[in-house]
Chain A
Amino acid sequence: MSETNLYPGLNLGGGHGEAHEQAESTVFGFWVFLMSDLIIFGILFASYASYLDPIGMAGGPGPQDLFDMKSVAIQTAFLLVGGTAYAGVSLAVKYETGRAKVIGWLLVCATLGTGFLFFEVKDFIDQAGKGGLPQASGWLSSYWALVGLHGIHVLSGIIWIGAMAAQILRRGLDDVVKVRLSMLGVFWHFLDLIWVGIFSFVFLVPLL
């Protein structure tokens, strides 16, 4: 790295003066929140793993009956590309290539996130139709809690992206907006990271 990093995540860099300094404590605070979120997800992963046996499924439908690997692959592609697309936002802010580019990349992220949510909700509806409701078994409760919580995070990410786009239009790319965009970036990439755990351990391993 060519410059001093003050916090984890893509730094705004010394050229942004006060925003770069201000970002240190604000983004650090946001990492504290993300780490508590990580613990919530981790515990839900642990309960999912604990319920992943015939007793946890309590005679209800199991992974083979409910999971559709093709849909999981589509969702994974949406989220991976959507996560990487945030690089466009971060770099456009850092190198000041203009407001239009920042908003354009934000819209790409939001669109791909919406595509992900569409397929996820479609899967949830299919599963509910096959009797895979949360109350059917302990395993299904933990499945809906874990994957549903991730889905709600993606939805809040999309709402946050919309709010940031509106703020850029209203106030321009000032220091406050730059710091907020840094936090949104960390959040958006973090959701991608959680999904890696979900598609591997929630969907693929039980299907083996």
Chain B
Amino acid sequence: MTKPNTGELDAEDGAREEIRRYAVGFFASLLLTGGAFAAVLSALPTSWKVVLVCMAALLQIVTHLRNFLHLSFSGQQSREDLLLVLFSVCLLAIMAGGTWYIMSDLGGRMHQSDETGMAAHAMPDP
């Protein structure tokens, strides 16, 4: 276990730095949230809007992790924490992504009513 650093900045500087960090996170989140709602209300094509909303959400999640939850990938915290988060995200990607992929593929195969869809999945003649 690492001992607390003795040559650290004095408390007041530390506090100012941390308040700044929260403020940056807050204004970035505000901007990204406003951006997502503005994108929905705008007259852009639908596919652009989806991309914009998804981008804003991902950026905001990263902002929250960095500025509010103080998660850092710079290697200052113990290795277990980093591994825990990375492993959970990996599990989640497999389970959530897999669920979505399987269900949408299944839905596509089961509910195609047009001729081409039926033909594509029909058994070949013996």
Contact = CB atoms under 8 A, between A and B. Distances in A.
B19 interface: yes
Contact of B81 (A4, A15, A28, A55): A28
Interface in A140-175: none
Contacts of B80: 28
Interface in A41-76: 42-43, 45-47, 49-50, 53, 55, 69, 73, 76
B96 A10 contact: no
Contacts of A117: none
Contacts of A42: 92, 95-96
Contact of A8 (B11, B56, B81, B100): B81
Contacts of B29: 80, 84, 196
A83 B22 CA distance: 10
B118 interface: no
Nearest to B33: A76
A2 B92 contact: no
Main secondary structure of the interface of A (DSSP, over half): helix
Interface residues on A, range: 35 or more
B43 interface: no
Interface centre among A38, A53, A91, A208 (most CB of B within 10 A): A208
Interface string A1-41: 11111111111011100001100100010011001101100
B28 to A, nearest CB: 11
20 contacts: A2-B17, A8-B81, A36-B88, A38-B88, A42-B92, A43-B99, A46-B100, A50-B107, A55-B111, A80-B33, A94-B18, A186-B69, A193-B61, A196-B29, A201-B53, A201-B54, A201-B57, A204-B36, A204-B40, A208-B53
Q: Which 7 A-B pairs have the closest CB atoms?
A: A14-B4, A50-B103, A200-B57, A35-B88, A46-B96, A46-B99, A87-B22
Interface of B: 1-5, 8-9, 11, 13-15, 17-19, 22, 25-26, 29-30, 33, 36-37, 40, 46, 49-50, 53-54, 56-57, 60-61, 64-65, 68-72, 76-78, 80-81, 84-85, 88, 91-92, 95-97, 99-100, 103-104, 107, 111
